[in-house]
Amino acid sequence: MNSNYIFQSSATNRGWLGMMIGSLLIIFYVLLYWFPASIQGLISLTDPISLIIKGKVADQWFFYGFIYTIAILGMGIRMIRKYRHNNYQKIRTISVMFFQTCFAFLIPELLARLNLPYQDFKNIFPLDYAFFFDYNIEKKIAAGTIGYFMLAWGVFLFVIGVPVMTYFFGKRWYCSWVCGCGGLAETVGDPFRQLSDKSLKAWKIERYSIYGILSFSLIMTVGVFYTFFTKESKLFGIIDTNFIRYIYGFLIGSVFAGVVGTGFYPLMGNRVWCRFGCPLAAYLGIVQRYKSRYRISVNAGQCISCGNCSTFCEMGIDVRAYAQKGQDIVRASCVGCGICAEVCPRGVLNLENISTK
């Protein structure tokens, strides 16, 4: 792998270029989410494509989906070239490119064209925090069989899919092979992976923050269900469930996942959202930590403590701390991108699904 001079480049070492890229991304997200009218000119540029796929002119979400997909495809090709000698990297990159193009972009837009409810079949609650919102459930019920299937599929993924797949393969099956946020992080974000904070303090903050948001998302959903079934908008007569829902959508769904999640790539690395925020990553992580065959195995003696693994871990795991002790790495946050093993100069690390003793 060639990451030479990555720390001398202004874009990838928090230099002025990096700060500029970050600022532009943040401005872009703010305009896209809250002032789409101001970028109507840009949005309209994608009208011809929208007309072909959707049969309608582009709205802000079509525009966003389109450039998101193009970004993953373009930077995915870069990723494949960069790691061309490593099949794991190539296959996994093709996988995220495929899921983004088909599942996140084309299928939902085609569903819209057929007047069916919007559904990204690979998005899973609670990352897909609106999955159980009343209007989504009602739309699906109204759509009949296919709507019921969508509901069942979403519940199946959350209840069975996640634990079973994570047991066999670790959370990587989702985070670095399927997920859209992960897809962007692994392609567009790859040049920034070395900027994640590896300190123990960051790990402590991470645990509070990610499990805090998981709890928030679950409480919010309980509130949503409560209101859905009782038609009572105030939980215990005080807390307005619609208000919690709104706050979650604004703070977590938009500000954290979008503005911070992507805008902070050049500042805090490419997995800020996945590491500190994503409630689905938290859920996958719990399964991975306590009940999974997946681990990073270690050739303990060969480790020379050089620190390449830790430096290039996008999740901020201090991989070296485990490797030099000869301890297999079983961490809730590991998304199994495989770059630690790739950059190791001594063949110390290997991602494996081991059948438990």
Partner 1 sequence: MKHIVIVGNGIAGITAARHIRKLSDYKITVISSESKYFFSRTALMYIYMGQMKYEHTKPYENWFWEKNRIELKYDKVESINIERKNLQLTKELLEYDQLILATGSNYNTLPNINPDIKGVQGLYHLQDLEKLEENTKNIKKAVVVGGGLIGVELAEMLISRNIEVTFLIREDAFWGNVLPIEEANIVTQHLAKMGVKVLINTELKEVHSSVNQRVVSILTSKDEKKDCEFVGLTIGVSPNIDLVKNTSIESQKGILVNEYLKTSEPDIYAIGDCVEHRNPPSGRKAIEQIWYSGKLMGETVAKSICGSLTKYEPDIFYNSAKFFEIEYQVYGKIAQILVANERTFYWGNAENNQCIRINYDAESNSVIGIHALGIRLRQATCEKWIRDKNTIQHVLVHFEDANFNPEFSKPFINAMLEKYNLEYPEKPILIKKNKSITNFISKIFN
Applying CB under 8 A, the residues found at the interface with partner 1 are: 3-9, 85-88, 90-91, 199-200, 297, 299-302, 304-308, 310-311, 320-321, 324, 338, 341-342, 345-347, 350-352
Angstrom distance (rounded) from CA 334 to CA 240: 36
Please state the closest distance from residue 347 (CB atom) to partner 1, in A.
4
Q: Are 65 and 123 in contact (CB under 8 A)?
A: no
Please state the closest distance from residue 309 (CB atom) to partner 1, in A.
10
Angstrom distance (rounded) from CA 201 to CA 217: 24
Closer by beta carbon to partner 1, 152 or else 200: 200
Angstrom distance (rounded) from CA 66 to CA 46: 8
Please state the closest distance from residue 170 (CB atom) to partner 1, in A.
12
Closer by beta carbon to partner 1, 51 or else 91: 91
Closer by beta carbon to partner 1, 109 or else 314: 314
Helices of type H across the chain: 16-34, 40-45, 47-53, 60-82, 87-98, 107-113, 134-142, 145-156, 162-169, 172-175, 180-187, 200-230, 241-247, 261-263, 265-268, 272-276, 279-290, 308-311, 319-323, 339-343
CA angle, residues 297, 285, 212, in degrees to nearest 5: 145
DSSP one-letter code for 295:
E
Total count of residues recorded for the chain: 357
Amino acid at position 263, single letter: G
Please state the closest distance from residue 155 (CB atom) to partner 1, in A.
28
Closer by beta carbon to partner 1, 133 or else 203: 203
Please state the closest distance from residue 206 (CB atom) to partner 1, in A.
16
Q: Are 285 and 171 in contact (CB under 8 A)?
A: yes
Closer by beta carbon to partner 1, 221 or else 308: 308
Closer by beta carbon to partner 1, 222 or else 300: 300
Please state the closest distance from residue 205 (CB atom) to partner 1, in A.
15
